[in-house]
């Protein structure tokens, strides 16, 4: 009985993942306007009835992709937050891990950075914001600790976070390039955040 239940769950997860992948392919080929149920069905090789069985609307598909991206980003760095290392080392290490995640699935993260400017999702459906806010708050707290300890220059935190956002937009939108490494991040931000 458990084996049958596990097989059904595995099949359900597989179909949901295939549909979400189809939505990303549709976005990648046609932009935000190309995310239609017809295009998603075509890209995932399922009928529209199957799409609607797993997701009630295009909005649900978009929310699932947002959730996947932000949750994966947060979970990739969650353990690093409590490491007993300097704020500077922790910050660079976390940024590096986040850059790796973004680089591994650039289409998903391009989608994450692009879609909120084009589609208004009600707050009640925006479950991914829990992970987004947690990620930003954690990075902010590391910066605050770094300023207090003298690891970072005394800079305006909001300006600093915008600069970090710019780094990630560059990773996503600057085309094919090599993965970024800790030494690259260190170099990118050293003059900006480290006291002279």
Q: How far apart are alpha carbons 66 and 120 in whole angstroms?
A: 13
Under the banding of pLDDT at 50, 70 and 90, the label for residue 137 is confident
C-alpha distances (whole Å) from 63 to each of 14, 52, 69, 98, 112 are: 18, 15, 10, 21, 10
Mean pLDDT of 149-178: 69
For residue 180, pLDDT beyond 70: no
For residue 37, pLDDT beyond 60: yes
Mean pLDDT of 18-23: 95
| Burial class of residue 83 (count of CB atoms within 10 Å of its CB; 0-12, 13-18, 19+) | exposed
Under the banding of pLDDT at 50, 70 and 90, the label for residue 26 is very high
For the record, the structure tokens of 68 come out as: 């996947």
Mean pLDDT of 8-36: 90
- What is the per-residue pLDDT for 172? 58
Q: How far apart are alpha carbons 136 and 10 in whole angstroms?
A: 33
- What is the per-residue pLDDT for 153? 76
Under the banding of pLDDT at 50, 70 and 90, the label for residue 17 is very high
Alpha carbon of residue 21 to chain centroid: 15
For residue 114, pLDDT beyond 70: yes
For residue 122, pLDDT beyond 80: yes
- What is the per-residue pLDDT for 189? 66
- What is the per-residue pLDDT for 1? 52
Q: Name the residue with tokens 């030494």.
A: 183
Q: How far apart are alpha carbons 84 and 89 in whole angstroms?
A: 10
Contact 165, 136 (CB under 8 A): no
- What is the per-residue pLDDT for 91? 86
- What is the per-residue pLDDT for 42? 95
Summarised one tens digit per residue, pLDDT across range 58-84 is 999 999 999 999 999 899 988 888 888
């Amino acid at each position: 009985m458990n084996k049958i239940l596990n097989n059904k769950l595995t099949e359900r997860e597989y179909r949901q993942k295939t549909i979400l992948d189809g939505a990303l392919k549709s976005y990648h080929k046609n932009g935000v306007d190309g995310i239609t149920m017809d295009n998603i069905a075509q890209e995932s090789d399922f009928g529209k009835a199957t799409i609607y069985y797993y997701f009630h609307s295009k909005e649900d598909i978009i929310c699932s992709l947002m959730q996947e991206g932000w949750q994966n980003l947060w979970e990739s760095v969650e353990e690093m937050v409590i490491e007993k290392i300097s704020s500077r080392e922790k910050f660079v290490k976390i940024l590096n891990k986040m850059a790796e995640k973004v680089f591994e699935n650039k289409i998903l993260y391009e989608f994450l950075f692009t879609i909120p400017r084009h589609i208004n999702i009600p707050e009640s459906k925006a479950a991914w914001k829990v992970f987004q806010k947690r990620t930003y708050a954690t990075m902010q707290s590391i910066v605050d600790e770094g300023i207090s300890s003298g690891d970072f220059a005394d800079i305006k935190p909001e300006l600093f976070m915008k600069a970090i956002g710019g780094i990630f937009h560059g990773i996503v939108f600057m085309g094919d390039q090599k993965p970024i490494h800790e030494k690259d991040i260190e170099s990118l931000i050293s003059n900006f955040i480290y006291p002279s």
